[in-house]
Amino acid sequence: MLRALGLDAVSEQVYQELLAEPTLDATLLAERLGLSQDQVNASLDTLADLALLRMSREAPQQRRPVSPERARALLLRRQEEELQARHAALEANRLAVATAAEQATRERQRIPTATEQLDGLDEIQSRLESLVQSATTELCSIVPTLMTPEALEASRTLDEELLARGITLKTLCHEGVRTNPRSLAYGRSMTAAGARLRTAPALPHRLLLVDRATALVPLDPAAPAPSAVLVTTPGIVAALAELFDRIWADATPLDQTPAPDHATGITPAERELLTILSTGLTDEVAAKRLGVSVRTVKRRMEELMRRLEAGSRFEAGFKACQHGWL
């Protein structure tokens, strides 16, 4: 019982033995319990520190164990005091984090025109975590490709923390998440938790907007080494925010199925495929941009050619223009 209240096993053994025979000294306790003299002395010191031993009123030079009821009450009170101390420390840490975030926000506001280059995944991840923690109202992001399972789990932790703080999360995902079980499950769980997710058949490069005051974008999406630019210049951030809002307005909420155009009957994904292929790009490039396999691109194109009654892709492009599909 006392172990559940924080007393170690050896000290509880010594305490119980003293309850049975209060006059035992350290030597006899060690013999009876099969412990070393040092273990018994350490336990006696522990019991004394916890006030579970008191000086005898009959033999002032000897210590006696307090009653079990008193022992439980003392240990419980000690646990309550420790809990209150941890709670106070937690509140102090929370205040320190909030103060640091507020100070960081003020620092950004004092430098209205600034850019900073970040090189390497570690540096980008570190700054990304700082930005997320400093968010006060809204976090908008564009995720143009499917994320790895490891990236999804890392994002889940940050997203749940943001939602718990009342931050609005708006994420534009690639249409491919609808056919990827892991990504779809993640998106649905985040939506259920309060995040807002929409999909589009094609998206520009990655973008993160924090409180519409700071933006993080790739420095060169085509470069083999990852690098990013942190932007706080108001005009640039406003332009990126407007880009996000325009795509968001046309994107489809995750819990809805993308509807075909009423006039043409084609879906946004089909229109995007036609647009990509009409520029002369290969099926491989189209598949990469659409987040699907090359086989899916070929299958969708064959279906579009059948509906257009076209014998070739060139003819399909010509008829798509005639029908107002492009």
The list of the chain residues with pLDDT below 50 reads 111-112
**Residue keyed to tokens 């997203």:** 159
**Which residue type does 75 have?**
L
d(CA 135, CA 125) in angstroms, rounded, equals: 16
By the 8 A CB rule, do 210 and 218 touch? no
Residue 265 has what pLDDT? 64
* DSSP three-state, residue 276: helix
Residue 176 has what pLDDT? 76
**Which residue type does 104 have?**
A
* DSSP three-state, residue 281: coil
Token couple for 80? 């309550």
Architecture field, domain 268-322: Orthogonal Bundle (1.10)
d(CA 318, CA 326) in angstroms, rounded, equals: 9
What are the helix (H) ranges across 226-323? Answer: 234-250, 268-278, 283-290, 294-308, 313-322
Domain residue limits, the chain? 1-109, 111-253, 268-322
β-pairing, 168-174 vs 138-143, is parallel
Residue 197 has what pLDDT? 92
Task: For domain 111-253, say whether CATH 3.90.105.10 is its number.
Answer: no
By the 8 A CB rule, do 290 and 201 touch? yes
Kindly state the DSSP code that residue 282 receives in the 8-state scheme: -
d(CA 116, CA 237) in angstroms, rounded, equals: 14
- Identical topology for domains 1-109 and 268-322: yes
Token couple for 284? 């491989």
What is the chain's length?
Answer: 326
Closest to 82 measured CA to CA, from 6, 9, 12: 6
d(CA 250, CA 293) in angstroms, rounded, equals: 24
Residue 238 has what pLDDT? 92
Residue 110 has what pLDDT? 54
Out of 3.40.190.10, 3.40.50.300, 1.10.10.10, 3.40.50.2000, the CATH code matching 1-109 is 1.10.10.10
Encode 126-175 in three state secondary structure: HHHHHHHHHCCCEEEEEECCCCCHHHHHHHHHHHHHHHHCCCEEEEEEEH
d(CA 248, CA 195) in angstroms, rounded, equals: 14
Helix, strand, coil % in the chain, rounded to nearest 5: 60, 15, 30
Report how far apart, in Å, the C-alpha atoms of 311 and of each of 20, 119, 222, 316 are. 99, 49, 36, 7
**Under 8 Å CB-to-CB from 158, ≥6 apart: which residues?**
129, 132
Residue 14 has what pLDDT? 82
β-pairing, 138-143 vs 214-218, is unpaired
Residue 105 has what pLDDT? 64
